[in-house]
Amino acid sequence: MTAVSQNGCAFFHVPEVHRLNYEICMAAVLQDGLFLEIIPESHRSNYKICMAAVCRDGCALFHVPEPLRSNYDICMAAVSRCGLSLVIVPTEIRSNYKICMAAVLQNGEALCNVPEPHKSNYEICMAAVSQNGKALRCVPEPHRSNYQLCMAAVCENGYALGCVPEPHRSNYDICMAAVSQSGYALQHVPEPQRSDEAICFASMPIGNLYIPDAVMKRIRKTQMMCFIACAKQNAQNGTVPVTLPEDVLYGIAQALLLD
């Protein structure tokens, strides 16, 4: 009993006579829900053991026998623990709004397994992309073209910009939100926004690889001018002992910012 409570794998070494013990089986699934697969059939059909298993690992629903697999509470516990286990939920339960909402709240990409009409439900789609921006790829039209949904998706995961349809992909605010969340999103930003200094600057340093050379030069020049201005201001305020010539400041700025 102690061994199984500490490590579910110990169940493999439990003598056959003790494998039929309820407490040992319960300890095994509490340690790892997927051990539901190997406990004796008599206990695998026990409601409490199945509930304990899916609460530990939602994917354990795969090993829950009928009729318990069609039990609403067990399915709800499973998808609340692992949203992707929605694909295992029987069809009649999967068509329940609350089950679908619970699944996407745990993992937005569970939206791919949500059946209609719930897949086209605005609240479910919004919950999905707010939890995982990449779930936007699973959102059906017309919701995928909804501005608020697209914005929520890129705010959660900037890389979701690749799933945003036009004209929203070219929207300045959506592009800015995307690169601010992840500089990698800059590769999905279309022109002319990709040549916008503010958007490129927001993507740095991760987005450096995707910034056009001409824009990068302008950004570096702006940074150097700011550095020189700050140095001059510090000299005037007496926070640095010596006022350096501007050509020297420019050289220092270039060394710090470009090298």
* Candidate from 150-159, 213-222, 225-234 with smallest mean pLDDT: 225-234
pLDDT-based confidence at residue 31 (cuts at 50, 70, 90): confident
**Span 44-84, pLDDT tens digits:** 899 999 999 999 999 999 999 999 999 999 999 999 999 99
105 near 83, Cβ under 8 Å? yes
Which ranges constitute the DSSP H helices of the chain? 2-6, 16-19, 22-31, 41-44, 47-56, 72-81, 91-94, 97-106, 122-131, 147-156, 172-181, 197-203, 213-237, 246-258
| CA end-to-end span of the chain | 63
Tell me how far apart the alpha carbons of residues 246 and 228 are, in angstroms, rounded to a whole number.
Answer: 7
State mean pLDDT over 146-168. Answer: 95
Tell me how far apart the alpha carbons of residues 214 and 176 are, in angstroms, rounded to a whole number.
Answer: 19
State mean pLDDT over 160-187. Answer: 93
Above 60 in pLDDT, residue 143?
Answer: yes
What is the pLDDT at residue 259? 45
Instruction: Read off the pTM.
Output: 0.74
